[in-house]
Amino acid sequence: MIKTLSTIAVSAIAVIGLNISAASAAPVTLNVVTAPPGINESALEDCVFGNPSLGCEAQYQLPTGAPGGFVTGITHDYLVSDLRALVENFFTIGIDSNTAAGATITQMLTQFELSVDYGGDGTFDEILFDVNVPFALDPLVAQGNGFTDFAIFGFSLLGLSDDDVVRFTLSLTGLTDGAEQFFILDAPEVPIPGAIWLMGAGLAGLGFAGRKKKRQA
């Protein structure tokens, strides 16, 4: 079941990109933030990358390898209509980080992007969202096994068609323990003054609509 993060109004306002314009094809850059306590995963969450405990198919599972392991540029595609059926137009990515006790290296998120293939023709046309990286997955942020440690707020499907395809791309270094989990959460319910978040999402939608219009011209 997709969960709602209802306690993050201030964080959501801080991380949404407000500087998008219809004439610009630059991606919206989001931030990774520490998640509030108590947001647990379940096998009913929808997997982006992870291990079988979230129902991840084999091709989307992350390695649990030896200290210093890494993954580079792995991808997971979603038809927009399928993703929209889960979250409508707005969603958050939750991260459950796993670090071996006594590890001497820090796990780093070095890439997380959402790109789009307009019309699902097999060509990914542009990156819609990226993340400020590198980002250290601090081992001191440990909500416990099966709980969300970090979150990326501000993803939007506004301006996309149901037959478009979006692709998540991930790179990580310094893996030391069980596979990290990246999964989809419903966007936060944002009370006033959280309307600023909605305004930012609206601007993002206008930017995407402008991009698509430019592509089809």
Residue range 138-148, pLDDT digits in tens: 888 888 777 88
Distance CA(125)–CA(88), nearest Å, equals 22
pLDDT at 11 over 50: no
Q: Please give the pLDDT value at position 53.
A: 67
Strand partners, 79: 165
**Per-domain boundaries in the chain:** 9-15+25-216
Dump pLDDT digits (tens) for 57-112. Answer: 787 887 665 567 788 898 999 999 999 998 889 999 999 888 777 778 888 999 99
pTM (two decimals) = 0.77
Residue 188: pLDDT band by 50, 70, 90 thresholds? Answer: low
- Kind of pairing between the strands at 135-136 and 165-175: unpaired
pLDDT at 13 over 60: no
The residue that leads in pLDDT, 57 or 211, is: 57
How much is the average pLDDT of 42-51?
72
Residue 150 structure tokens = 């970090």
206: CB partners within 8 A, 6+ apart: 20, 22, 159
